[in-house]
Amino acid sequence: MCKIMHLMLGLILVLLLSVPVIIKASEADDGYSQCQNIVKNWASSSLDSEVKDDKHDLRDLLFFLHVPRTGGRTYFHCFLKKLYSNSQECPRSYDKLRVNPRKPNCRLLSTHDDYSMMSKLPKEKTSVVTILRNPIDRVFSTYEFSVEVAARFLIHPNLTSVARMARMAQRRRKTSGVSTLDIWPWKYLVPWMREDLFARRDARKLRGQLHLVANSSYDVEDILMPLREYIHHPIALDIVHNGATFQIAGLTNNSYFAEAHEVRHCVLKYHTLGEYVLEVAKKRLADMLYVGLTENHRESATMFANIVGAQVISQHTISSSSAKVATNDHSEQSSITNTISDANDQGNSTYQTLEDVSSTGKYEIARDNLTVGKLMEAYESCISSLRNSQSERRVNSLKRISPVNFTKEARRQIPEVVIQEIASLNSLDIELYNYAQHIFNEQQGHMTQRMVYARPPFTHSIPDVQKCCWRR
């Protein structure tokens, strides 16, 4: 009887212990199912919204969706600033935060905002372009740039001094430009790295540690957070990994979409749901006017000049011709209305209109004779200067955390196990990048086809394309 009682008590105990497990499993299943429905519904509604016009034609507004650390700043300064005047940039461009970019003559929007910005724009009148980079290299570069910018603050004795300086700088920026600390994702990543650098510097002072040796710039715990630690930090998991996929899908932590937070939460909790986000990102990538690749720098630049640049130049030509017609019309109207009794009022109105036209024209003078060939020549000159200044700034920043020095050689010393971990954490971005390579090849074929047939608006730039792009 005692044995039977012990067996029965044991069975009851097992059942009691298993109940919480069953309940937890049920809750887990319910949580997954609920999240799956949320993500599927969002993905379905996102995939249904299509633009029917030919994606190869440049529309009224160009939205440059700048994925961080892909070379987008080079495109902005060396291509887009050559193609568009300051007056044509939307107020949101780099990066006047949360400003609605609707204004007359707004033709260029260049920002780190994700695809949700399209909800603020006239979708049927907007073309989107972007650049993607090998995801592993992009993580390296994100880590390096976060450290580089954070190191600039080490000129201060402590974080209190940094905070005081930041308040003063913020007051100045209200009437001037913007800081890296205003821009997503650096407004999260740089302060994080800055606090880490100061904490490690303070710890070295307490230990009286003066001499430092670095076998690898990516693994110097006494100076900065090692890369192997950085990639597993909650902030990196939230913002850095699969960042291109989330940005192109419109689901960053900076998103305008109302449901973005809920969808992000579900995907970060249940990684298999990321496939739905990936499909949306692929669809959006496929619908873009242009997709460049950082690794294919020269081919990407040539393609941008021919696909985007040529059409912008064509738009300028048409708009310049329209402006001349408008000027002639207003001149004729002015001579007629001068015979009317209220000639003074009409004359003032005409003068203002002509002043507006000439004001626009002074920004367009350098663009009146612009061709694809001249654009590429200007681009080559610009990137050389830009790279020199960026390199100089990096050297000066990294002096503060010597002997750390981020170089191509230093990257080659990163352990394979760390590289594999980064690849695993960025599986969505790797798939998206592979898909972007396919799109890139298709774009090259389409560009070649248009050049062969010399169909407008490319006809006027064909000789320059031949001189510029195949002379090497």
With a cut of 90, say whether residue 142 has pLDDT above it.
Answer: yes
How far CA 44 is from CA of 47, 50, 107, 238, 276, in Å, comes to 5, 12, 30, 24, 9
What does the block give as tokens for 469?
Answer: 């792009």
With a cut of 60, say whether residue 323 has pLDDT above it.
Answer: no
Read off the pLDDT of each residue in 279-300 and give the average, rounded to a whole number.
97
Higher confidence at residue 92 or residue 425?
Answer: 425
Per mean pLDDT, which range of 212-216, 322-326, 467-471 is the poorest? 467-471
CB–CB of 372/309 below 8 Å? yes
Higher confidence at residue 48 or residue 204?
Answer: 204
Peptide bond into 185 cis (omega under 30): yes
Higher confidence at residue 88 or residue 4?
Answer: 88
Question: What pLDDT score does 87 carry?
Answer: 87
Q: What is the DSSP letter of 305?
A: I
CB–CB of 253/25 below 8 Å? no
Per mean pLDDT, which range of 37-46, 48-57, 194-203 is the poorest? 48-57
Per mean pLDDT, which range of 104-113, 157-166, 331-340 is the poorest? 331-340
Read off the pLDDT of each residue in 319-337 and give the average, rounded to a whole number.
48
Question: What pLDDT score does 167 carry?
Answer: 81
With a cut of 70, say whether residue 32 has pLDDT above it.
Answer: yes
Confidence band of 458 (pLDDT split at 50, 70, 90): very low
Read off the pLDDT of each residue in 415-420 and give the average, rounded to a whole number.
98
Question: What pLDDT score does 453 carry?
Answer: 65
With a cut of 80, say whether residue 40 has pLDDT above it.
Answer: yes
- Average pLDDT over the chain reads 81
Per mean pLDDT, which range of 20-24, 154-158, 388-392 is the poorest? 20-24
With a cut of 70, say whether residue 362 has pLDDT above it.
Answer: no
C-alpha to C-alpha distance for 5 and 154, rounded to whole angstroms: 72
Read off the pLDDT of each residue in 427-442 and give the average, rounded to a whole number.
97
Question: What pLDDT score does 349 carry?
Answer: 34
Question: What pLDDT score does 376 carry?
Answer: 95
Read off the pLDDT of each residue in 386-410 and give the average, rounded to a whole number.
93
| Structure confidence by residue, pLDDT tens digits, 224-276 | 999 999 999 999 999 999 999 999 999 999 999 999 999 999 999 999 999 99
Question: What pLDDT score does 330 carry?
Answer: 46
| Structure confidence by residue, pLDDT tens digits, 101-116 | 667 678 999 999 999 9
Higher confidence at residue 339 or residue 154?
Answer: 154
Backbone angles phi, psi at 94, to 5 degrees: 35, 90
Question: What pLDDT score does 99 carry?
Answer: 53
Which of these, 117, 14, 25, 24, lies nearest to 63 by C-alpha position?
117
Contacts of residue 285, defined as CB under 8 A and 6 or more positions apart, other chains included, come to 130, 248, 291, 432, 435, 436, 439
CB–CB of 57/51 below 8 Å? no
pTM of the model: 0.80
Question: What pLDDT score does 95 carry?
Answer: 47
Q: What are the extents of the domains in the chain? A: 31-319+367-454
The size of the chain, in residues, is 472
C-alpha to C-alpha distance for 233 and 87, rounded to whole angstroms: 42
Share of the chain above pLDDT 90, in %: 62
Question: What pLDDT score does 74 carry?
Answer: 94
C-alpha to C-alpha distance for 227 and 218, rounded to whole angstroms: 5
C-alpha to C-alpha distance for 113 and 98, rounded to whole angstroms: 10
C-alpha to C-alpha distance for 220 and 226, rounded to whole angstroms: 6
Question: What pLDDT score does 325 carry?
Answer: 47
CB atoms within 10 A of CB 154: 16
Question: What pLDDT score does 367 carry?
Answer: 72
